[in-house]
Structure 1
């Protein structure tokens, strides 16, 4: 990993950590023909595209429920127990995110009530390329269920080693959560299927269109979300995963190294960043990363990610400077390994999720913390939140005014309407009081 020493430089607090390139705009021309093929070709197009890109033609677009039950029955009991606990903890956290209806009395006879209504139908995307993520089934499904979404459908790429069905553990997780509708479709074509629905050659509806698509994916999934935003609602355009660690001399170099490596394991463009006040820690982490990487399964992938421009160890003069840098970076995941980590964490303004202290690694949040691991990437944490119950809710105002309440504000409405040169707006109020 590159080491960047900002100490003694006047621009240290404004130092910008580089990010991996993810040119979604460049991917748009590649996915637009796929979107159009799905829109016009329906089920047959989806099966053809899977054969072309995934190397397998699914026997069914929609996975038979019997196959999902079989996958759950055959699931390793240890994995089933772990998933069950992950679901339990996620439910505890997401149940507390429920929004309550509230009525405000603006004046006598005048109220505004805010109701929170769930989206009717949601498509949940679960990746299945270089790695498969049953944990993403949990993270997408639980908040949608807790929000009260009535209709949920999952799409995940077909796998050659599973007879053209999605990964067996993903299917088992869906069954465990009670999701009955799962499709063997991946990539941009899955987003297009959700946006337009899909009918077979006889015109029968195989997949109904959805109102919203959520879940992480590769650059083509992100590009399809961008292209179809407006046709469907989306949660975000997920970019390469990233971890930033803010640490001082109290941090354990072995633990910090392990956490940097765990994120680099995702992808060759994953970002692993350490910001530290300690040059000694920087050197110790460098040595620990080298030792631990050699002993891991995905050594080549990890080495490429850690050697990339998006990964670095940044040495800073003091903790205040470090906080400014991590706030500017707005990491998807931010770990705090400092003395008084709780108070330091509360000073952070921008991060998707903050992992406080030495015993809260990012991998805890990936699986069993109870928090959600679908988080904003690419610096979007400065304006966006992770997936939650709120993602699937819409606030709707109910405005109730009686005649007396309207009369009190009628002149103001008319005045403002005329100020905006919209006299008919004012007349819509005035007519109610005309003799």
Structure 2
């Protein structure tokens, strides 16, 4: 049985992409600018072992399945044909396919690519969201290579959703505007103390110090992020105001801060830890202090927080959990915060990802030399898929502003302007 015939059985004869296989067979749209290429039988092994997105990801990351053309374009065209529910074939049809191409090729087990986070590696680090296991998860994703992140993220070294004043704004302008939006929501003033938990490469810390004269402390579980941020702070002459420490957010000393920002950390801490997380941040704030929580969310509160064994969980954010915005807001409220503002920046994250994807493609050869082709492929696939996720409202991005009341005074203007 030719592989093109299998492709047509699975997706139908009118697939909006081309198809080519190592056996010389072709299918799909011959004039398409995107073509799926099966380079070896190992791709079939992966898909047979894990029918659906995981098997396809393993085959692509390992290079046995390839795509000629733009990844986002191909994913968008195939969105209605994605195999998330498994190959659309009956067990009898699967048996016929296996017999047609050879049982050995079809069922021979092959190990996942090394870029996949194995459960045994995580289980050896403790229970989910313990300090040791969280450190390993952060190391897996964020300690890839600072040089690689510079290629993808650009000069701002900011790995969170930007805020675009217009669709044609540059990524650097949009990242500056995101930090400034956070700063204005927090009403940063000279001399204030800011705690930025999950600070990444120190973007918010440096912005607060440079633009607002704030004394800012950032903490991150990534050693490479902390080292990069500390060097940049020194280079920019901000050492008297800004500091980044390699530290778990749970180990931040119990001091009082005027403001707290949490930009892209809530996704990593686990649903069961969220109440204690917000309670801990509340306890570190002075009366009248503010918290701005910025994180990826699920569009509904009743959706599961994570998909165990899914592609994102295995390749990108092991142990990552996304909550609904209403649930997160309730947890902030129950921790004592008065909720003063909330907004969804979903479309902005799709635009941000487009810029990151363009950066990766523009610097592809350098990126491959830096981290290897398998890791670069993970990023190409994951970021293109995330654009689609935000566009189709599979995921969202919310900022929620809370105030620790000073008695009954929120120290807020009657009509704040957050543009």
Determine if the TM-score, normalized by the shorter chain, exceeds 0.5.
no
Rg comparison, structure with higher value: 1
- State TM-score, norm by structure 2: 0.31
- State TM-score, norm by structure 1: 0.30
Higher relative contact order (CA 8 A, sep 6+): 1
